[in-house]
Every structure is written in C-alpha cells, then in structure tokens.
C-alpha cells in the first residue's frame, strides 16, 4: 500500500479502484454505497431517486468541444442516467483560486447554465469557496445530482449475466485526446473534439424500447472502456469478450494514440455509454441507439461469459486474443 | 466589479454575497435557487426533499474540536436541518493533492464515517480526484446532502415577519477562533474548541414543540451571526434589532477577539443556529432549545422590525446602538 497519494490514484483506473476499495468503501460501508454504481439509488416514500457526485479538475479549462463547466453538468447528468434516472436537480460547488479572472469564471458559469438548460435540469443550490494562490488551480467544480429513476428501469452491475451483449454508443477516446491536444505540449496535426454530451435522452430511448431487457449501463469516463468493463466483470463475477474490430475509433484519435503509444480503450469519454443487454434484445437496442443523434455509431462490441470471472478479453484486429486490464498508471492526469 | 477573484470572495460575507448575486444567481436563475436558502427544497411525488452542498477547504485540517472530515459531515447536515429536514444521505467528493499522506487521508475518512454514523446519515456516493503538487492544498472535501423535510416544517426567509423573536442556540465565534489558534501564527494562551456539531436533533426538538410558529432557521457559518442576520433582513425586507448583552460569547473567544481586533459576531460557527419565531412561542422555543445538549446556552437575542428593511442594529453593552453590517474583507480565510 502506498504511503502517499500519487497521480495514479486519480486516473480512474486500477490505483483509484484500490484506493476506493481500501479506504473509502470500508469506512463508509452501507448497502447502497457497497453496490459501487455510477449513482446511488435511494427509495423515499413512493419515489426511487438517483443521487451522485463528481468533482471536475480538468486542465486546461477550455478545450475543443467543451469546457470544465459543460463537463461538470454533463458528467453528473450521465451518472444519473446510468441509473436509468431522469436528471432533475444539480448542485454547484465551486472552489476558486485567488487571482482567477472573473471573466473566465463568467464564461464557465454561463457554460454550466447553458448545458443545464439544454438538458432540462435546474441548478438549485451551490457553494463558493476561495483559496490562496498556488493552493488550487484556477477553478475546481463539484456537481452533485438528483434524478428520478424511470419506472421501466431495473439496472445494476449485479444484473449482468452470461450471454448478455455489450453495446457501445459510439467512438472511444475523443474526450481524452481532445484534452491532450489542448495542452499544446504536443505537435500533432489532427482535429479531435471532446464528445462531452448529456446521455439521458439516449438512455430514455433505450429504456422505452427494451425496458428490463436492459440490465446495466456504465459511462466509460476516466480509465476508458477497458476500466469500465473490468469493473463490471469484477462486480458481476463474469468475464467479457470484446471484438476490437467492432469498436469505433475516430481517425484522429487512432493517429494520436499511435504516436503517443496510448490504448484508445483506456482513454476517457464524456458522452458515451456501455449497455449490457439480454441477447434477444440486441438488435432492437442497437436500432434504438442508432436512431438517436448521440448513438449513430453504436455497435455491439462484445459478449458476457460465465468462465474466468473478473476478466476482460480482447479479440484483436489481427486475430489474437489478449487480456484487457484496467488502466494502470495515469498517462493523462486531470482529464475531467 | 472586481476583475479577479480575491480571498474576500470566499469570506461568506459581503464580497461572497456580491459574487453570488452578480454571477451565479443570474446565470442559474430558477424559482428554487432564487430563494437563496441554506438548502434547496424540492418536491418529488409525495416527498418534500432538501438538497444542499458545501465544499470544505479549511486550513489546518486538524484542530481543537474537529477536523475537515467532521466539519464536512456536520456542515452539510446543518444546511439540511435549516430547511427543517431530517438528513438522510450524503455524497463525498474528494480532491487530493499529489503527495498527501495516506495516513492523514485515513484519519479524515474515519472521522467522516464516525460523524455520519453518530448523526444517522449514510454516505452513499462519492468521487476521488487527484491534482499535482501545489495545485491543491492537501485535501478539499465537497459533501452534498439529501434530506426529508419534516411534516411540521414550513420554513423560509420570506416567512420572517415583524415581531418575530430571534433566538440563538449558543455561544458565538468558537469555531473561527479555534481555527485561528490552530494556525499557530499567534501566541495566545487560551483554550477554544470548535463547536462543530450536527444540529438536526436540536431542530427536530424545536419543530416538535412549536411547529409552524418556527418561521426560519439559519446557521451562522462563514461571516458569522452578523452576516446571517443581514442576509435574512435583506431577503425578508425587515430590520433586526439585537441586544449585544444577550449574545453568549465564551471567555476565550472574547479575549482572542480583543487581542486580534475582531468582532465575534462576524466569526464563523459550525454548531449554532439562529431561529426566527412567532413572538407568542418565544418561551416555549427557548425551553425546547435549552433542554437539548446543543442548546444549553440558547438565548433570545433580538426582535424583527418593519422599519428600515434590510438593516441590522445592535444595542451595545454600553447602551448605544450601531448598525451591524455583513462581514467585509476576510480576516480568517479558509475557516471551513
Ligand atoms: N471518496 C469516495 N467515497 C465514497 N465512494 C466513492 C469515493 N470515490 C468514489 N466512490 C465510489 O466509487 C465508485 C466509482 O467512482 P468513480 O468516480 O470512479 O465513478 P464515476 O463517477 O462513474 O467515474 P468518473 O469519476 O470518472 O466520472 C462509485 O460508486 C463512487 O460512488
Ligand atoms: N456557486 C454557486 N452557485 C449557485 N448558488 C450558490 C453558489 N454559491 C452559493 N450559492 C447559494 O447562495 C446561498 C448562500 O450560500 P452559502 O454557501 O453562503 O450558504 P451556506 O452553505 O449556508 O454557508 P457556508 O458555505 O458558510 O456554510 C445559498 O442559497 C447557496 O445555494
Ligand atoms: Mg460514471
Ligand atoms: Mg462520473
Ligand atoms: Mg455554502
Ligand atoms: Mg448554512
Ligand atoms: Mg453551509
Ligand atoms: Mg466519479
């Protein structure tokens, strides 16, 4: 066990997983948190609610396809959507560094307001703190969210079963590579935009079509598709077999990954979802996703299996099979 | 208008108020946020819920009477309690600085868990981010909270009316002075402990006794009693007349304030509440507060008046009367 926090603890990959399992989960343990879903699902009276939080520390604050404010709204909406919830209310917890330009704050706040308005959610409560220079990095934003779980939703990692199909709603790696390119430490000539988007209407379309044949949703954010699938495999005690050729990767992302020696499957996305679906609903689900503007490139990328629980296997382009692990280390700190 | 963020924007006083009124409130405007209460109150089906958030950036992390983890649990519980809600569920959004000692993290997390357990709330969702050295200061914690508004509660700044009595649940300034002493920049020989405490059972006792004759609750955190009362006076369009002699101030706090030239009424508290009460319920309310361990020093400190809306007046020890303004500047940055 490490003595000190490292950047890898924030990667969303293996070190984050170990930190959460080693420190937070045991201390806070309760039957809701223990499920380790994207959102907590809580029942109050006749209401099933989803409740979630994320902090955003992305660097830089502005990038192709978005900014920290837009990300902070979309990201929390998406964790609510992964519980099958209609997002309703958000909080905005802002930590500012002394000296931060009010003009930049205004742009970010306007961007949050626009993203919330577009998605039909209200920011109903907030908090504003300031720390001295060099005690933060411009601005950090925490959003928490509350949503109402749709009547047709019954989702969870525990419901993933052998035979289930794994669907991905579109291309991988766009967000992470867009951030990396925005850092301008690299001299790569390609145009990649963040995929930052609110996925709740895509989820609603899927639930309307296939109801409880949808078993689980997960947004492959930090740690990418590889990490998200490993988490599901561990939690559901299944293995997952992926077909690399089926996974959409945009040209610019593929090129940047080759140059940088990165695996697009470990790179963060902010507008994609993985859906675990009863086999008989595969084609219906695919049609539902593809009919939605955010799911046009949706694909069936794999199958859930009973043997080798906890493992993810990748049938590669060139015909071999390899084990696909969670992200190890942190090639792209502060991606969201 | 300032061009850059200053520490005063985080004081909880006048500059914070102006920043929120100038930037956040107009951008996010909606009928729930516009009320500017400690918690948003939302209705879902047959449920009235309270939803709130606060980030904690206190420095140092450990101090007499508490630590950042305990504060993060109590503070958010208290904002829920100020809406008359029973606190139920919290989120934990953690931002860590690379290099932070895991041992300190463990202590803080254990302290959060203990405070949550003592208060009967569950931490059901969380997030963990890491930033590079000198891009944060050890650890920042955001908690958001969801609670269920008690059936007997009908609270809000808008319900404060001329004639209402202002009650304070105990002494002022303990938290702020405890933090200042913990900074060890001072050589003052006094023992002051933070008053950090969860106030929901005190609120329940009060509501059980006086129901809707309780008009409004507010916890005087950053900016202290002076700022909290000015906010209510502005929002309810009333004035408030205070009696300085009635306001409990512990000896150590009084001494430290004299040496430092601070006004105890502008100093942060983390386990106190202000209650606005129909005049006929004054004595019943006082008894209910004093019967509770957290309200033993409760006192009637003032009266609400119709004339001079937006103003707070202080009848001083020595018999004069002065205007009591919100906190201006920030004598104690990062108090919570
Ligand atoms: N500090 C924490 N305390 C309690 N639970 C936590 C904490 N950090 C994370 N978790 C829990 O661990 C699980 C994984 O969290 P994680 O933040 O990786 O998920 P995510 O929000 O879906 O991903 P991302 O943060 O990349 O968007 C969730 O169930 C979350 O509630
Ligand atoms: N960044 C923000 N966005 C939206 N609303 C905000 C923001 N910051 C504060 N507010 C709102 O302004 C009001 C005052 O917030 P403030 O944080 O001062 O209250 P508090 O949490 O009761 O005090 P403290 O933070 O000192 O505990 C609340 O209604 C809060 O929801
Ligand atoms: Mg997620
Ligand atoms: Mg998330
Ligand atoms: Mg606050
Ligand atoms: Mg408050
Ligand atoms: Mg508060
Ligand atoms: Mg998260």
CATH number of the domain enclosing A83: 3.30.1330.10
Confidence of residue A38 (pLDDT cuts 50, 70, 90): very high
- Please check whether residue A116 is in contact with residue B116, taking contact to mean a CB–CB distance below 8 angstroms: no
Average pLDDT over residues B31-37: 98
Average pLDDT over residues A61-68: 98
CA atoms within 13 A on the CB side of A260: 22
Q: Is position B43 within any domain?
A: yes
Tell me if ipTM is over 0.95.
yes
The ligand minimizing its distance to the Cα of A93 is 2
Q: Is position A333 within any domain?
A: no
Residue B332 distance to chain A (closest CA, Å):
11
B53 and B125 in a common domain: yes
B131: closest CA among B94, B168, B164, B102? B94
Q: Is the pLDDT of residue A7 over 80?
A: yes
End-to-end CA distance of chain B: 26
Q: Is position A135 within any domain?
A: yes
Q: How far apart are CA A5 and CA B109, in angstroms?
A: 14
B137 and B188 in a common domain: no
**Which pLDDT does position B139 carry in this prediction?**
99
Confidence of residue A187 (pLDDT cuts 50, 70, 90): confident
Q: Is position B336 within any domain?
A: no
A161 and A139 in a common domain: no
A17 and A64 in a common domain: yes
Domain endpoint, select from A93, A128, A149: A149
A192 and A48 in a common domain: no
For chain B, helix (H) and strand (E) counts, in that order, are: 9, 14
Ligand 2 nearest atom to the CA of residue B53, by list position:
21
Ligand 1 nearest atom to the CA of residue A36, by list position:
29
Q: Is the pLDDT of residue A3 over 80?
A: yes
Tell me: the pLDDT tens digits for B122-152?
A: 999 999 999 999 999 999 999 999 999 999 9
A27 and A141 in a common domain: yes
Average pLDDT over residues B266-293: 98
Q: Is the pLDDT of residue B97 over 90?
A: yes
| Closest protein CA for atom 11 of ligand 1 | B126
Q: Which of B100, B113, B124 to mutate to test the interface with A (most CBs of A within 10 A)?
A: B124
Q: Is the pLDDT of residue B185 over 80?
A: no
Interchain CB distance below 8 Å, B2 and A102: yes
Domain endpoint, select from A149, A175, A207: A149
Interchain CB distance below 8 Å, B45 and A42: no
Interchain CB distance below 8 Å, B89 and A40: yes
Ligand 1 nearest atom to the CA of residue A82, by list position:
22
CATH number at residue A196: 3.90.650.10
Q: Which domain holds residue A42?
A: 7-149
**In the structure encoding, which two tokens stand for residue A11, read together?**
């990667």
Average pLDDT over residues A264-284: 98
- Which chain B residues are within 8 Å of A17, Cβ to Cβ? none
A186 and A126 in a common domain: no
CA angle (A322, A326, A329) in 5-degree steps: 115
A186 and A244 in a common domain: yes
- Which chain A residues are within 8 Å of B142, Cβ to Cβ? 53, 55, 93, 127, 142, 144
CB atoms within 10 A of CB B115: 24
Ligand 2 nearest atom to the CA of residue A123, by list position:
4
Q: How far apart are CA A287 and CA B196, in angstroms?
A: 55
- Please check whether residue A265 is in contact with residue A166, taking contact to mean a CB–CB distance below 8 angstroms: no
Domain endpoint, select from B101, B133, B149: B149
Q: Is position A332 within any domain?
A: no
End-to-end CA distance of chain A: 26
Please tell me if the CB atom of residue B75 comes closer than 6 angstroms to any atom of ligand 2. yes
Nearest to B105 among A23, A54, A130 (CB): A23
Peptide linkage before A60 cis (omega within 30 of 0):
yes
Q: Is position A212 within any domain?
A: yes
Q: Classify strands B312-315 and A239-243 as parallel, antiparallel or unpaired.
A: unpaired
- Pick the more confident residue, A185 or B171: B171
Residues 6+ apart with CB under 8 A from B56: A129, B68, B71, B72, B75, B140, B141, B142, B143, B336
CA nearest to A96 within chain B: B5
B225 and B241 in a common domain: yes
- Counting one residue from chain A and one from chain B, the pairs whose CB atoms sit within 8 A come to 277
- Please check whether residue A268 is in contact with residue A331, taking contact to mean a CB–CB distance below 8 angstroms: no
Pocket test for ligand 2, best of B21, B38, B330 (most atoms within 8 A of CB): B38
Residue B320 distance to chain A (closest CA, Å):
35
**Which pLDDT does position B66 carry in this prediction?**
98
Q: Is position A328 within any domain?
A: no
Q: Which helix (H) or strand (E) holds A55?
A: strand A47-56
Tell me: the pLDDT tens digits for A83-100?
A: 999 999 999 999 999 999
Confidence of residue A317 (pLDDT cuts 50, 70, 90): confident
The rounded Å distance from CA B213 to ligand 1 centre is: 42
Q: Is the pLDDT of residue A224 over 80?
A: yes
B90: closest CA among B118, B48, B61? B118
Using a pLDDT cut of 90, give the percent of chain B over it: 96
**In the structure encoding, which two tokens stand for residue B46, read together?**
């047959």
Q: Residue A6: what are its φ and ψ, rounded to 5°?
A: -115, 165
**Which pLDDT does position B188 carry in this prediction?**
75
**Which pLDDT does position B186 carry in this prediction?**
72
Interchain CB distance below 8 Å, A131 and B51: no
Interchain CB distance below 8 Å, A334 and B40: no
Q: Which residues share a beta bridge with B142? A: B55, B93
B299 and B164 in a common domain: yes
Pseudo-torsion of CA A311, A51, B21, B31, nearest 10°? 140
A-facing residues of B in 261-290 (CB < 8 A) are: none
Please give all residues whose CB falls under 5 A of ion ligand 6, grouped by chain where several chains appear.
Answer: B 38, 79, 219
Q: Is the pLDDT of residue A169 over 90?
A: yes
The ligand minimizing its distance to the Cα of A218 is 3
Q: How far apart are CA B25 and CA B47, in angstroms?
A: 26
Mean pLDDT for all residues in chain B: 97
Residues 6+ apart with CB under 8 A from B192: B64, B174, B177, B178, B181, B250, B252, B253, B256
Confidence of residue A1 (pLDDT cuts 50, 70, 90): confident
- Per the structure, how many domains does chain A have? 2
CA nearest to B138 within chain A: A135
Q: Is position B194 within any domain?
A: yes
A309 and A202 in a common domain: yes
């Amino acid at each position: 066990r490490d003595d000190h926090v490292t950047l890898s603890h924030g990667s969303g990959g293996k070190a984050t997983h170990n930190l959460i399992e080693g420190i937070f989960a045991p201390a806070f343990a309760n039957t809701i948190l223990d499920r380790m879903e994207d959102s907590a699902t809580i029942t109050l009276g006749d209401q099933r609610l989803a409740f979630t939080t994320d902090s955003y520390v992305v660097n830089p604050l502005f990038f192709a396809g978005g900014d920290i404010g837009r990300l902070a709204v979309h990201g929390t909406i998406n964790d609510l959507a992964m519980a099958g919830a209609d997002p309703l209310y958000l909080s905005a917890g802002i930590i500012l560094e002394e000296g931060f330009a009010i003009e930049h704050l205004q742009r970010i706040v306007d961007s949050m307001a626009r993203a919330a308005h577009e998605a039909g959610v209200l920011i109903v409560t907030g908090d504003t703190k300031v720390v001295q220079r060099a005690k933060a990095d411009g601005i950090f934003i925490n959003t928490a969210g509350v949503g109402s779980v749709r009547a047709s939703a019954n989702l969870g990692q525990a419901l993933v079963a052998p035979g289930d199909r794994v669907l991905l709603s579109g291309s991988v790696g766009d967000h992470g590579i867009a951030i990396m390119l925005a850092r301008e430490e690299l001299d790569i000539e390609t145009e990649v935009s963040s995929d930052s988007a609110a996925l709740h209407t895509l989820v609603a379309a899927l639930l309307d079509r296939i109801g409880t044949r949808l078993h689980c949703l997960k947004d492959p954010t930090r740690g990418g598709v590889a990490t998200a699938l490993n988490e599901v495999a561990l939690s559901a005690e299944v293995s997952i077999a992926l077909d690399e050729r089926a996974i959409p990767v945009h040209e610019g992302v593929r090129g940047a990954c080759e140059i940088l020696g990165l695996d697009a499957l470990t790179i963060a996305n902010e507008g994609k979802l993985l859906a675990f679906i009863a086999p008989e609903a595969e084609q219906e689900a695919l049609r539902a996703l593809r009919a939605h503007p955010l799911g046009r490139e949706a694909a069936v990328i794999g199958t859930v299996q009973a043997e080798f629980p906890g493992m993810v296997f990748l049938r590669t382009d060139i015909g071999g099979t390899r084990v696909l692990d969670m992200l190890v280390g942190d090639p792209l700190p502060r991606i969201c």
